[in-house]
Amino acid sequence: MPTIEPRKLVFPYRRQYVFVRLAYNDQKESEFDADSNYLSDTSSFTSSSHSLSSSSSHQPILSTKPLSSTNRRSRRNLSPHRLIRLCCLALISTVVIFILSLVHAGISSNKRVEAGNIGRRPSPPPEPWRAFPFLTRYYGGLRSLTPIAENTPEYPLKDEPIASDKPSKLNRDVPASKPFEAYARHQSSDYLAEYPTVQKCFLDANSTVALPPLQYYSGRPAGFPNNLLGSYELLGLPEDICFDRFGRLGPYGYGYAEKYGGTGTGEYGDIMGSSNVWKIGSEINQVDFRSVNWDEVQRRCFNSNKVRFEPTDSFHERNSYSSESTRTSDNYDSTKANISSIPKKYLPRSAVVIRVWDDFNYGVEDILHLRAMISELSLGSAGEYDVHLLVQVKDESKYPIWADEESYQRHVNESVPEEFRGITTLWSVTQMLMLYQGIHDTFSRGPDLPIHGPYRGLQMAMQHFAHNHPEYEYFWHWEIDIRYTGHYYNLFSQVESWAQKQSRKGLWERNNRFYIPTTHGSWEDFKHLVRVQTEMSSSDPERLATSLLGLKANTKTEKPIWGPERPEHEEDWFEVENDPVPPKSYDKDQYEWGVGEPADLITFNPLFDPEETTWLLANDFTGFNTSTGSPPRRAAIITTSRMSKRLLASMHRETAFKKHHAFSEMWAPTVALHHGYKAVYVPHPTFVDRKWPVAYFSAVTNAGKGGATGGARTSVFGAREHNLMGLTWYYNAGFAPNLWRRWLGLKVNNDGGEQFELTADESKDGEGVGGMRGGEGRMCLPPMLLHPVKDVILPSEGPASKGTFPTSDPSA
């Protein structure tokens, strides 16, 4: 019987198990070598199977199918490590692209800003004050004149009905005007006991042509608003009178033809009673200005009264370039002067320096304004003032004025009307660069506005002018676009007198605030309020808020300034040996120090602290050590001011030797603060065009630290200065030029004009400025300062053959 050998059993499913296990490991671990292991194992099992029987029983129970390359790639793409790397790469790329986009956008934005293209932005919300209704009774006329004691002002009022547009009664005839007397004190016994008799000045060398006086009217047009800021009574200015355009400008050529020596303007609108300006008895005295040389007129006037003033070196001994007429007129014959008596003390002399530039277009109205200033300040005062034009030469390459005297004088002749050439002094930026070298320019307003230029460094020209004019004790820095509806000598003399009476105690603190009589009461009440606000730190809104929150306030406590307020670092001090020193402590002084002392600086806007305000030029200073903070500073918007000789000398020397300087509106107040000089803000009467709630106006304007105008971000000077655009006095006030044009009988925004003065329009409803009926005659304004007034064109009524003055549209 044959032997049966046991058969070796082969389990094909074992091979399948290996495949499934390997495939599972490959998916589980995501390792590439798993595929290769699987393939090698499969190959070994396949080769061994060929040694076995080829029977069908050798086939695996489960079929095997090799993995394709596509499946292997899909498993590799799903690798977590690979996904992380790809995500990181994508994230980094996104960040880089985002940064590059920001850089590109920033560069593009800067280019658009430089080109002036800021794109379309949503309009900011309108300022609240613009919604207040306009006042209308400024535009009343002479036929509604009312004594001020009987007048009910349209504004400001407290719980009283507002005056209607139509006055209760119109006078059929215009009342007679009266001559204004501005020099009465020259004839007083007290004045004559102290000074020699004043010698009257004339326009001609033969002393026969005298200027007629200004003419005024008693009262004001019915309903005329009261001033919101400042005080007439406080300064001693007349408030119960008003001036029309003929009474104010008629003495200087307004209102009569060129063939009589006038300007050929003003012969339009309401002219009833205007001839009274030129009447002397039964004759008409209209001055012929065609041959007037104002330099010679001023020199003759001074020489006639030279004994009243202390002898000094004249300007012409220190400046090589000046007009021939000016130099020859300095030949002084002492026998013609009044030397019969020696005065007990000399009168100080002042220079009124009017800033202008060489391409300025002198219109008829500008010429009338200059004639008024020279006549009222220089001739009327008998030489106490001299008026000068300080003219900037803009294009020095085209006009090399410093090459020789002939070039200098030629440019004067080309730039200035003939009657004013002798009082002209030219200056240039290059000249200031030569005089004040080594100053570090921060270019705070860009490369086009250097520190030596007329915008940021205007005071440099004034400093140099004062250095060359030792004959003057004081220098009024005036602007060509300022107008005054009253008499200039009356304004200047009263302002200077009031400033001299002010005590130094609390002076800087009062200087830092607007005086609003309706809110503050009398001046004594205001002084007391300022003292309390200064002493109580709780009056600072930021300090009060931080104390309520239990936080430490970062603001400095306001302390009264007593004597010089010098920079922290002694290295910034300069020539302090002669600085004024308080005679006693602040607490012991009974408002005595400073009384009777002439002010070194007089301004017409508050002297505010620019620290922490939003004023754009608060940090426009140079030469000081700022390692521990900024030096103490003060500023007054609008450079118009009176500066003493010693203040300008300190400014000049500190700029030249110490390289200190600041923006033109900040430099003089800052030097006065550092040296302890007397500085006074004069609260002159200022009017507003809208019906502001007075308490709201006070809160807006005195919104700085401790109830002041400066020292905090809430200051009105800076981002909030738009609130002052409706005043009669600010650097960009819109009310001032409109009021002046309407007063001249011109149309503004299609309101006013000739027919408005002559005829009442009963179809008007009397609501608002545009709804006024008119027919009251020409306007009449009390004395007030107006700024800015530019480019006024008066209609010419002269013959066409002689018309050198352009005819204008009255609505311009």
Q: What is the DSSP string of 198-228?
A: PPP--SSTTS---PPPPEEEESEETTPPPPS
CA distances to 140, 361, 751, 758, 793 from 812, rounded to whole Å, are 21, 17, 11, 20, 8
642 part of a folded domain: yes
CA distances to 232, 349, 357, 362 from 325, rounded to whole Å, are 41, 21, 22, 22
Mean pLDDT of 307-336: 53
pLDDT tens across 339-379, in order?
444 556 899 999 999 999 999 999 999 999 999 999 999 99
Residue with the two structure tokens 């390289």: 659
pLDDT at 453: 83
Query: What is the pLDDT confidence band of residue 18, given thresholds at 50, 70 and 90?
Result: very low
Burial 524-555 (b: 16+ CB within 10 A, else e): eebbebbeebbeebebbbbbeeeeeeeeeeeb
The Cα diameter of the chain in Å comes to 182
Q: Does the pLDDT of residue 73 top 90, yes or no?
A: no
pLDDT at 446: 76
Class of residue 441 by CB neighbours under 10 A (exposed 0-12, middle 13-18, buried 19+): middle
How many structural domains is the chain composed of? 1
Q: Does the pLDDT of residue 23 top 90, yes or no?
A: no
446 part of a folded domain: no
Sheet containing 385-392: give its strands across: 424-427, 385-392, 350-357, 474-479, 641-644, 601-603, 679-681
CA distances to 299, 391, 596 from 197, rounded to whole Å, are 18, 35, 24
Residue 481: closest CA among 87, 792, 739: 792
Mean pLDDT check: name the lowest of 236-240, 262-266, 569-573, 792-796: 569-573
At residue 402, φ and ψ (nearest 5 deg) are -90, 5
Q: Does the pLDDT of residue 101 top 70, yes or no?
A: yes
pLDDT at 802: 39
pLDDT at 53: 40
Mean pLDDT check: name the lowest of 77-81, 276-280, 695-699, 729-733: 77-81
For every residue of 681-742, DSSP letters joined together read E----B-BSB---HHHHHHHHT-SGGGSSSSSTT-TTTTTGGGGTTBSBSTT-SHHHHHHHH
718 part of a folded domain: yes
Residue with the two structure tokens 């400024």: 138
| CA–CA gap between residue 15 and residue 563 (Å, rounded) | 109
Query: What is the pLDDT confidence band of residue 321, given thresholds at 50, 70 and 90?
Result: low
Give the H or E element holding residue 241.
Answer: strand 241-242
| CA–CA gap between residue 294 and residue 729 (Å, rounded) | 29
Q: What is the β-pairing status of strands 785-786 and 145-146?
A: unpaired
Q: Does the pLDDT of residue 16 top 50, yes or no?
A: no
Give the H or E element holding residue 496.
Answer: helix 488-501
Structure tokens at 385: 């003032």
19 part of a folded domain: no
| CA–CA gap between residue 472 and residue 387 (Å, rounded) | 12
DSSP state, residue 134: B
Q: Does the pLDDT of residue 169 top 70, yes or no?
A: no
Contact of 225 with 771, CB cutoff 8 Å: no
Mean pLDDT of 749-772: 92
CA distances to 25, 42, 127, 625 from 38, rounded to whole Å, are 10, 6, 83, 82
pLDDT at 76: 53
pLDDT at 559: 84
Give the H or E element holding residue 247.
Answer: helix 245-249
What 205-209 contacts at long range (C-beta under 8 Å, 24+ apart), as own/partner pairs, is: 205/296, 205/300, 209/287
Q: Does the pLDDT of residue 45 top 60, yes or no?
A: no
Length of the chain: 812
| CA–CA gap between residue 683 and residue 681 (Å, rounded) | 6
Q: Does the pLDDT of residue 656 top 60, yes or no?
A: yes
CA distances to 187, 255, 499 from 190, rounded to whole Å, are 9, 39, 21
588 part of a folded domain: yes
Q: Does the pLDDT of residue 438 top 60, yes or no?
A: yes
pLDDT tens across 258-306, in order?
999 999 999 899 999 999 999 877 678 899 999 999 999 999 999 999 9
Mean pLDDT check: name the lowest of 20-29, 430-439, 591-600: 20-29
Burial 397-421 (b: 16+ CB within 10 A, else e): eebebbeeeeebbebbeebbeebbb
Contact of 717 with 723, CB cutoff 8 Å: no
Q: Does the pLDDT of residue 623 top 60, yes or no?
A: yes
Q: Does the pLDDT of residue 77 top 90, yes or no?
A: no
pLDDT at 262: 94
pLDDT at 643: 98
| CA–CA gap between residue 283 and residue 270 (Å, rounded) | 22
Q: Does the pLDDT of residue 783 top 90, yes or no?
A: yes
Mean pLDDT of 679-707: 96
Side chain identity, residue 709: T
pLDDT tens across 445-483, in order?
777 888 888 888 889 999 999 999 999 999 999 999 999
CA distances to 11, 19, 56, 66, 342 from 60, rounded to whole Å, are 8, 12, 9, 14, 145
Find residue 479's DSSP bridge partners: 355
Q: The domain containing residue 633 runs over which residues? A: 503-594+600-677+691-725
Q: What is the pTM of this model?
A: 0.81
| CA–CA gap between residue 488 and residue 531 (Å, rounded) | 33
At residue 765, φ and ψ (nearest 5 deg) are -90, -5
Residue 374: closest CA among 467, 300, 451: 300
| CA–CA gap between residue 517 and residue 526 (Å, rounded) | 8
DSSP state, residue 781: B
Q: Does the pLDDT of residue 631 top 80, yes or no?
A: yes
Q: Which of 156-160, 450-454, 552-556 has the highest mean pLDDT?
A: 450-454
End-to-end Cα spacing for the chain:
144
Mean pLDDT check: name the lowest of 115-124, 397-406, 659-668: 115-124
Q: Does the pLDDT of residue 795 top 70, yes or no?
A: yes
Mean pLDDT check: name the lowest of 164-173, 300-309, 678-687: 164-173
| CA–CA gap between residue 287 and residue 266 (Å, rounded) | 15
Residues 6+ apart with CB under 8 A from 121: none
pLDDT at 71: 55
Q: Does the pLDDT of residue 543 top 70, yes or no?
A: no
Query: What is the pLDDT confidence band of residue 70, given thresholds at 50, 70 and 90?
Result: low
Compare 429 and 38 and report the one with higher pLDDT.
429
630 part of a folded domain: yes
Number of H helices, E strands in the chain: 23, 20
- On average, the pLDDT of the chain sits at 84
668 part of a folded domain: yes
Residue 601: closest CA among 546, 535, 669, 521: 669
Give the H or E element holding residue 527.
Answer: helix 523-535
Structure tokens at 569: 């670092």
Query: What is the pLDDT confidence band of residue 804, given thresholds at 50, 70 and 90?
Result: very low
Compare 509 and 38 and report the one with higher pLDDT.
509
pLDDT at 65: 52
Side chain identity, residue 161: P
Q: Does the pLDDT of residue 103 top 50, yes or no?
A: yes
Mean pLDDT check: name the lowest of 253-262, 381-390, 447-456, 610-619: 447-456
Mean pLDDT check: name the lowest of 90-94, 133-137, 605-609: 90-94
Mean pLDDT of 133-145: 96
pLDDT at 666: 95
Structure tokens at 797: 């009524």
581 part of a folded domain: yes
Residues 6+ apart with CB under 8 A from 461: 390, 392, 427, 432, 454
Residues 6+ apart with CB under 8 A from 600: 643, 644, 646, 647, 672, 677, 678, 679
Burial 585-607 (b: 16+ CB within 10 A, else e): eeeebeeebbeebbbbbbbbbbb
Mean pLDDT of 757-777: 91
Q: Does the pLDDT of residue 245 top 90, yes or no?
A: yes
